A and B are shown apart, each in its own frame.
Chain A
């Protein structure tokens, strides 16, 4: 049947996107390849269910995700990592503009292999539900609606998981940037939220308390937000 060949060709055009997604879900290249291969076979078997003109990539990624969940996770994914609320180093005003600029410059410098690896590691550390949303939003640039359809969840959930996932990612990246000396310790303000002890220094452009714990006390309600 010719529609088979056409469909095969169309789906293969999304191979890299599927592999990118699979690689971030699985623990090894071999597992990713198996996952992608199984996804293709399932997609071909189910091709009658695909509505021509709709987003094929989203449809394929949905199959991939479901295959992943059923195969590797016996039907469920880890939903949240941290018991306590995650602070956003940027919106909580701990990071100066200078720091952000420096970090951004550092990142630009190295679309460097090490930095890319750090980012991948940071993504791998995200809980899977957050990870998937971040991948679909940042890598595939799906609309929130498309993400919701791919992950089969409400748009509100997409937005909150995206926000939370990115917070975690940003915090991790800032930490890595500092650890790797990519940003100057003097320009950074406060500690990344993953660290338990804070060596707070006064931010230069935003009025902030010197002491982390009193800062947290004063902003309890704000710190309570952002949970998914």
Chain B
């Protein structure tokens, strides 16, 4: 290759953007020690390297900026969470105002400790395998679980069990005690049926409830809240919290000294708690935070 041609391709050569034949031709030419071309090559390379060095050494990132940046990112995360996959923010005063049980139908997913029911310590071997899988990807497992629960709540299949006395039949699959929380009856909630829901390699029991259209209730100490809702559906999930720790992706709040985990998922409210090793989760379309809180505290 002639010097003239080499020099016209030199810049592209330095950028590594020539095709293999051209690259080889130039390398061979430079290898002959052609002084003007070699010098131009070195000069072009030096300018490129100096440019890179000069720009990089002029970068300043101090701690205060890093803090501002991570704060801005965190704010963005929070902003997102109060959108579709989000956290309910309940101010402490609202929680304190909740006194009795209202007709709200927030269902709590109940986590049920396996120890509680089976009396065994530790996990069964096959269960241990699946739980370690969810531990490896804990957050993926949890979000998938919430999705499954919301899917089930939003499009419920036919119930598998409609008689309360048959609920214990679900217990071997769920791994925890399955019963109808007696407190929900006081909300006027009508139980429609139960089914098994596969949730990340485990199973939960779903208890479907409907809270009928509101009647105006007399103000009393027992029913301090008069809700204005039409009928709502509420699904209570009962499962083993050590297997499906849904609460990890929800926000922890204290309601009269009891930790409750709340969040919004795809437009539905999810609330969860643990009671004596049992996990309960509730999915509902009720939007009223205080009503959900009342329901949550009622379940035990």
A residues neighboring B (CB under 8 Å): 1-2, 4, 8, 12, 15-16, 19-20, 23-24, 29, 33, 36-37, 40-41, 44-45, 90-91, 97, 100-101, 103-104, 107-108, 111, 113, 115-117, 119-120, 123, 134-135, 137-139, 141, 143-144, 159, 162-163, 166, 169-170, 173, 205
One of B32-40, B104-112, B128-136 contacting the partner: B32-40
Picked from B8, B58, B69, the residue with its CB within 8 Å of the CB of A20 is B58
Picked from B52, B68, B139, the residue with its CB within 8 Å of the CB of A138 is B52
Asked if A163 and B11 sit within 8 Å, CB to CB, the answer is yes
Asked if B47 and A166 sit within 8 Å, CB to CB, the answer is yes
Give chain B nearest CB distance to A91 CB in angstroms: 6
Residue of A nearest to B41 (CB): A100
Asked if B46 and A108 sit within 8 Å, CB to CB, the answer is yes
Whether B76 is near chain A, meaning CB under 8 Å from some CB there, is yes
Given A41-B76, A91-B7: A97 in contact with B59 (beta carbons within 8 A): no
How many residues on chain B are close to A (CB under 8 Å)?
43
Q: In the assembly, what is the distance between CA of A79 and CA of B68, in Å?
A: 34
Whether B216 is near chain A, meaning CB under 8 Å from some CB there, is no
Asked if A138 and B69 sit within 8 Å, CB to CB, the answer is no
Not counting A116-B53, A120-B54, A138-B51, a sample of 18 additional A-B residue pairs whose C-beta atoms are within 8 angstroms of each other reads A8-B77, A12-B69, A19-B59, A23-B58, A33-B68, A37-B72, A40-B72, A41-B72, A44-B76, A100-B39, A100-B42, A100-B43, A101-B39, A115-B50, A115-B54, A119-B51, A137-B15, A144-B15
Can you name 12 A-B pairs with beta carbons within 8 Å?
Answer: A37-B68, A45-B76, A91-B7, A91-B8, A100-B40, A101-B43, A104-B46, A113-B57, A116-B57, A116-B58, A135-B55, A137-B48
Asked if A2 and B39 sit within 8 Å, CB to CB, the answer is no
Q: In the assembly, what is the distance between CA of A103 and CA of B48, in Å?
A: 13
Which B residues lie within 8 Å of A173 (CB)?
A: 47, 50
Which A residues lie within 8 Å of B55 (CB)?
A: 20, 23-24, 119-120, 123, 135, 138-139
Residue of B nearest to A111 (CB): B53
Whether B96 is near chain A, meaning CB under 8 Å from some CB there, is no
Whether B120 is near chain A, meaning CB under 8 Å from some CB there, is no
Which A residues lie within 8 Å of B56 (CB)?
A: 16, 20, 139
Asked if A107 and B65 sit within 8 Å, CB to CB, the answer is no
B residues neighboring A (CB under 8 Å): 7-8, 11-12, 15-17, 35-36, 39-40, 42-44, 46-48, 50-61, 65, 68-69, 72-73, 76-77, 80, 85, 138-140, 143, 249
Asked if A107 and B50 sit within 8 Å, CB to CB, the answer is yes
Interface centre among A24, A97, A144 (most CB of B within 10 A): A97
Given A37-B68, A37-B69, A40-B72: A134 in contact with B51 (beta carbons within 8 A): yes
A interface, over-half SS: helix
Which B residues lie within 8 Å of A15 (CB)?
A: 61, 69
Asked if A20 and B51 sit within 8 Å, CB to CB, the answer is no
Q: In the assembly, what is the distance between CA of A85 and CA of B58, in Å?
A: 31
Which A residues lie within 8 Å of B68 (CB)?
A: 33, 37
Residue of A nearest to B137 (CB): A2
Residue of A nearest to B56 (CB): A20
Q: In the assembly, what is the distance between CA of A23 and CA of B54, in Å?
A: 12
Interface centre among B42, B59, B138 (most CB of A within 10 A): B59
Asked if B47 and A169 sit within 8 Å, CB to CB, the answer is yes
Asked if B139 and A2 sit within 8 Å, CB to CB, the answer is yes
Which B residues lie within 8 Å of A16 (CB)?
A: 56, 59, 61
Asked if B36 and A166 sit within 8 Å, CB to CB, the answer is no
Give chain A nearest CB distance to B285 CB in angstroms: 22
Q: In the assembly, what is the distance between CA of A59 and CA of B53, in Å?
A: 23
Which A residues lie within 8 Å of B72 (CB)?
A: 37, 40-41
Asked if A4 and B48 sit within 8 Å, CB to CB, the answer is no
Give chain A nearest CB distance to B9 CB in angstroms: 11
Give chain B nearest CB distance to A58 CB in angstroms: 16
Which A residues lie within 8 Å of B35 (CB)?
A: 97
Which A residues lie within 8 Å of B80 (CB)?
A: 4
